Structure 1
């Protein structure tokens, strides 16, 4: 009866011991694939949050809702920048320019701007970012 716990402990020790000896390093191509996948994930998040901003109804959207959606887009852009080395220069420049234009347009809104006016004024920049992220995703063959 006492043999089973001892055998179990020995088996677990062997499994964990062998696991500790395995090679955790990845090849450069695996690292590149992972970075591209991370970038695709970040671009998809940016596209999704930009779509939420774009979909806000100007007739009822509050400035706080617009700020929240804008902040999500800007955070997504920060995430994209961390992995942007995998993008072609033209795609990276287009997404960067579009994200910065949206940020500047939002920051330039007067304090008393209504939700309706804010969304109307931001539509060109929102569309520019939508187009740029779609092109970058397509270039990376994101799914």
Structure 2
């Protein structure tokens, strides 16, 4: 990857698992691994060949100890024991995408903004209603 001999034009990494406070991934042996450290291995100083590429990290792990109590969740199509109550939190349903990492500034017309704008404009011009673009 450091030389990008396969001519990749972007990077998508998906991390799913158990997490802990402080952006930590719980490994299969029970230890913790910093998600920020994983991400930093692909920054422009560590991976210069990916310097101007979009890098998308999708992380699906817990990030704290708060137990959700905002609303009861109904599970459909499962054989879950009926005595178990599952609760969602007030931020259920949100997907937040930032164009930069915590603590950094982003230049005007960032890569993310430019790409998103192009996609939305091209879909809209081809007759897609905005509601359909986001569904």
Same fold? TM cut 0.5: no
| Structure with max Cα Rg | 1
Between Structure 1 and Structure 2, the one with more strand by share is: 2
TM range (shorter): under 0.3
TM-score by length of 2: 0.27
